Chains A and B, each alone.
Chain A
């Protein structure tokens, strides 16, 4: 399978990428690792006429651990998150979830900013950033803005990111409280049929593939805050969700999985 023809430009900086996006409008696409975009282009589900390669902006590959916040460059690869000792100590949930994405080859190309911008509700890392209460930093022609992860996703593969904006940094709080990540899939490298990420012993709980966007499980979080047991809180996991039905699972089975996985995750994280 070969993508439809397109023009290609390498951006040396975020500013240059943003200006190229401005020039080419919504026909242009940013490419970081390309491991979500290229398959879509091969299937002709995406046919951008201009691909702006941001994968060489090495200035945006870093993990800076502060006293309260971990700042991660948008082009940091999953493999770098997975193997970072500093991240394992300051935010083990994020490092662990990075190690569960796809397979080693995919993790050497995929980037944190890329997976967030792609906004696939079945992806692992957006849910982790959501459970942690992270912040997404976007650079556009007017400068830089910060977007709370909970406000970032708007629909299936859609976010509040404008056509001429690029994610440049992701911030998550230092988080060493009880955490767990539960991913249910049939084969090792598959996307989650349902997944659950729990941060800070249940203060943050998020669900993968239970709707058109990665979801915070608000009812579960409220129950945990009110002193409910993992079983009691997990019983509410499907509240407010709109799970899809597909080849892998019907909606009611996904709801069942969400409850089971949430109980496991809360128990492991408490």
Chain B
């Protein structure tokens, strides 16, 4: 069936089988591969995107469920001139990534976290990121980055 959505401000329409997962649709039909597939079982959070402003794991959603939705992926975070989003900048400055695989999902989840709670404690950041796994075990600097981004805003 025909599925229409706005992705990072641009309208996108494509055909999708009902069983097509949203993450596959974004990567293959929309052509944005910044959203990663990690565990594929809604545990790791690597595929986190924003749908109508809320954080969602796109491996556990059908593309047809997002028909008409407003989606932001990691590619939509930086400004048009390439200036990084403050959260991306904070990850860079605080060494909030090692291999980088979890990073798009971490940035999307962390941005949502600050939207709901602009000045979190360290414990609240750790709790707020419970849906995102980093297999490099780089949590310490990820938490530091999110706290730095919160302070900067």
Chain A residues engaging chain B, CB cutoff 8 angstroms:
1-8, 31, 34-35, 38-39, 41-42, 51, 53, 55, 79, 83, 102-106, 108-109, 188-189
Q: Please name all residues of chain B whose beta carbon is closer than 8 Å to the beta carbon of A3 when the two chains form the complex.
A: 19
Q: Please name all residues of chain A whose beta carbon is closer than 8 Å to the beta carbon of B19 when the two chains form the complex.
A: 2-6, 41
Q: Do B17 and A105 touch across chains, with their CB atoms under 8 A apart?
A: no
Total A-B residue pairs with C-beta atoms closer than 8 Å?
77
Check if B83 is an interface residue, CB within 8 A of chain A: no
Check if B61 is an interface residue, CB within 8 A of chain A: yes
Could you tell me the distance in whole angstroms from the C-beta of B11 to the nearest C-beta in chain A?
20
Return 17 A-B CB contacts under 8 Å, by A number. Answer: A3-B19, A6-B18, A34-B61, A34-B62, A39-B42, A42-B41, A51-B18, A79-B54, A83-B116, A104-B55, A104-B128, A105-B45, A105-B57, A106-B57, A109-B57, A109-B60, A109-B61
Known: A6-B18, A104-B109, A108-B54. A189 touches B131 (CB 8 A): yes
Chain B interface, >50% SS class: mixed
The answer, among A39, A188, A189, for a CB contact under 8 Å with B60, is: A39
The answer, among B20, B42, B64, B112, for a CB contact under 8 Å with A35, is: B42
Q: Please name all residues of chain B whose beta carbon is closer than 8 Å to the beta carbon of A102 when the two chains form the complex.
A: 131
Q: Do A8 and B64 touch across chains, with their CB atoms under 8 A apart?
A: yes
Q: How far is the CA of A105 from the CA of B93 in the complex (A)?
A: 26
* Cβ-closest chain A residue relative to B108: A105
Q: Please name all residues of chain A whose beta carbon is closer than 8 Å to the beta carbon of B112 when the two chains form the complex.
A: 104
Q: Do A42 and B40 touch across chains, with their CB atoms under 8 A apart?
A: yes
Check if B7 is an interface residue, CB within 8 A of chain A: no
Interchain residue pairs A-B with the least CB separation, the first 6: A103-B131, A8-B18, A188-B130, A3-B19, A108-B54, A105-B131
